[in-house]
Amino acid sequence: MRPRLLIALTAVVVLTATTAASCGDEGPDLALASAARNPVTEVIDAPATVTARAAATLTAPADGTLSSLRVQPGQRVRRGQVLAVVDSPSAQQRLRQAKEALAAAKRAGRGVGAGSLTSSRRGTDKAADEAFDAARKAAEKIADPQLRDALLTQVTSAQRQYAAAARSADQAVRAVQRGINGLSSAVGALSAAQRLQAQQAYDLAKATVDALTLRAPIAGVVQPGGTRAGGGANAGLAGLLEQAGGAGLDPSVLAPTQGGPPAGVDDAVVVGGLVTAGTPVLTVVDTGQLGLLAEVDETDVLLVKAGVPATVELDAVTGASYDATVRSVDVLPTSSAQGGVTYRVRLALGAGKLAEDEPAPTPRPGMNAIVHLRVREAVDAVTVPASAVFSADGRDAVWVVRDGKAGRASVTVGVQGSDLVQILNGVQPGDRIVVRGADQVRDGQEVR
């Protein structure tokens, strides 16, 4: 019998007495190997993108010009530091008008007569609606999530307070019209509503003017303009950055993306340049701890847990390997670029090494990567080559050769490596297994 080519195995795999076998010179080409104890690791590969710990784009809260720029691109800034100032005549004008209206509202009674109660109420409601609407629009254009949320909360609270005062004024006016109460009670209630509306309009207008001074919401490195949504194969990862505000940010979390000019055009706003409400002026990026945002297929994601270790390869750094650890797995799915269902896995990115064991360069947010997730490991497992396992009657099985004859043995597979798989039951170390040509073997077949 001519010797046959043996199945190739990795260097770390130790199998005993691998031989070739056949059922005759014209029989099927088979290869046998002994089940043995070996370490085995199951790895899941997933595309990923490097992420910053956080990023925030500062935008102009109102139309105007950039009157002052106090930082340079690439400069590291601290949280709360003044970065730029926007000059907005329109916002200043609204503040002056609100201040004048507040002074007028504080004059007792404002000359309201019985015949003008209803029209005065309508005028107060109209002024309040305009002030709240303008304040809400201005707040929504502020990029700093904490400042934006604080201003929107202030607007909502002011509306509720005014609504309560307006209801009291309405009740007083109706009471006067029915002859139940005197004019003074209605005038007092209406004046209170007007003063409250005027005070709130002033407070909101002042908040907009205060927001013209752009402060860093986080510590980090400054770059001009806003962040841009990335293209390429990993554009489906919800862009390069994702928004998250407040303390205790996840290292894989980033911030809002903003559109920019065409490629090749500098999006920096120069001092004296015109800006409109919402124009990106500066972006602060916190690279204190980098992370990864990976897409794991639905068929693999149940094996991925927080704490799972991984190694990372970057397209931009050939030959380097980085360490990473899973921090969280999203509950809701997303559609992958290929149309399948995937789940976002967030990892903390550690240090990297080159092939010469030298420190690898620090990646930049947005770089493409491949993550190798080591989801399961077994140190001293009963293993067979992956090619030995086949499906029969809905169960995994292998061909075990005893006394020169092949018998089908149902097995339970555990950790699945690229070359070896763990067998939890059905096979013992030393059992001779068909590892090539399993599809050509029949139960009871003689194998010499």
**How much is the pLDDT for 91?**
86
**Rounded to an integer, what distance in angstroms lies between the CA atom of residue 383 and that of residue 152?**
61
**Rounded to an integer, what distance in angstroms lies between the CA atom of residue 285 and that of residue 294?**
20
Sign of CA dihedral 184, 187, 193, 199: negative
User: In 10 A of CB 242, how many CB atoms?
Assistant: 20
**How much is the pLDDT for 238?**
32
**How much is the pLDDT for 77?**
94
Q: Is the residue at 193 inside a domain?
A: yes
* Residue type present at position 237: L
Three-state DSSP class for residue 294: strand
**How much is the pLDDT for 114?**
46
Assess whether 95 and 185 both reside in one domain. yes
Under 8 Å CB-to-CB from 239, ≥6 apart: which residues?
229, 230, 257
3-state helix, strand, coil in the chain (%, to 5): 25, 35, 40
Residues 60-85 pLDDT 10s = 888 899 999 999 999 999 999 999 99
Q: Is the residue at 229 inside a domain?
A: no
**How much is the pLDDT for 187?**
56
**Rounded to an integer, what distance in angstroms lies between the CA atom of residue 141 and that of residue 161?**
24
Q: Which of 158-172, 248-262, 279-293 has the highest mean pLDDT?
A: 279-293
Range name among 8-22, 203-217, 358-372 with the lowest pLDDT average = 8-22
The first and second tokens of residue 408, run together, are 């089908």
CB 316 within 8 A of CB 338: no
**How much is the pLDDT for 424?**
93
The first and second tokens of residue 50, run together, are 């490097």
Assess whether 36 and 93 both reside in one domain. no
**How much is the pLDDT for 231?**
36
**Rounded to an integer, what distance in angstroms lies between the CA atom of residue 138 and that of residue 156?**
14
Assess whether 107 and 177 both reside in one domain. yes
User: In 10 A of CB 351, how many CB atoms?
Assistant: 9
Q: Is the residue at 299 inside a domain?
A: no
**How much is the pLDDT for 298?**
92
Of 211, 235, 253, which residue sits at a domain end? 211
Assess whether 115 and 177 both reside in one domain. yes
The domain that contains 414 carries what CATH number?
2.40.420.20
The first and second tokens of residue 299, run together, are 């068929």
User: In 10 A of CB 129, how many CB atoms?
Assistant: 13
Q: Is the residue at 167 inside a domain?
A: yes
DSSP 246: S
Assess whether 28 and 132 both reside in one domain. no
**Rounded to an integer, what distance in angstroms lies between the CA atom of residue 119 and that of residue 351?**
70
Give the predicted TM-score (pTM) of the model.
0.64
* Residue type present at position 300: D
The arithmetic mean of pLDDT across residues 263-274, rounded, is 72
Confidence label for 338 from pLDDT (cuts 50, 70 and 90): low
Whether the predicted pLDDT of 117 surpasses 50 = yes
Provide the domain limits for residue 415: 19-40+378-440
**Rounded to an integer, what distance in angstroms lies between the CA atom of residue 239 and that of residue 221?**
20
If DSSP states are collapsed to H, E and C, what string results for 18-41? CEEECCCCCCCCEEEEECEEEEEE
Of 185, 211, 237, which residue sits at a domain end? 211
Whether the predicted pLDDT of 174 surpasses 80 = no
Sign of CA dihedral 395, 399, 400, 402: positive
The arithmetic mean of pLDDT across residues 280-295, rounded, is 91
Whether the predicted pLDDT of 170 surpasses 70 = no
- Which stretches within 351-429 are classed as H helix? none
**How much is the pLDDT for 42?**
93
Assess whether 98 and 201 both reside in one domain. yes
Assess whether 196 and 97 both reside in one domain. yes
Whether the predicted pLDDT of 109 surpasses 60 = no
Assess whether 106 and 205 both reside in one domain. yes
**How much is the pLDDT for 22?**
46
Q: Is the residue at 390 inside a domain?
A: yes
Confidence label for 10 from pLDDT (cuts 50, 70 and 90): very low
**How much is the pLDDT for 258?**
42
Residues 13-38 pLDDT 10s = 333 334 445 444 445 688 899 999 99
Question: What is the total count of domains within the chain?
Answer: 2
User: In 10 A of CB 405, how many CB atoms?
Assistant: 13
**How much is the pLDDT for 302?**
94
Assess whether 118 and 29 both reside in one domain. no
Q: Looking up tokens 């205060």, which residue turns up?
A: 210
Of 211, 246, 270, which residue sits at a domain end? 211
Three-state DSSP class for residue 302: helix
Confidence label for 191 from pLDDT (cuts 50, 70 and 90): low
Q: Is the residue at 95 inside a domain?
A: yes
Assess whether 104 and 201 both reside in one domain. yes
CB 14 within 8 A of CB 258: no
Q: Is the residue at 145 inside a domain?
A: yes
**Spatial CA neighbour of 327 closest among 232, 438, 253, 431:** 253
Range name among 128-142, 239-253, 263-277, 397-411 with the lowest pLDDT average = 239-253
Assess whether 28 and 96 both reside in one domain. no
Q: Is the residue at 268 inside a domain?
A: no
Whether the predicted pLDDT of 245 surpasses 50 = no
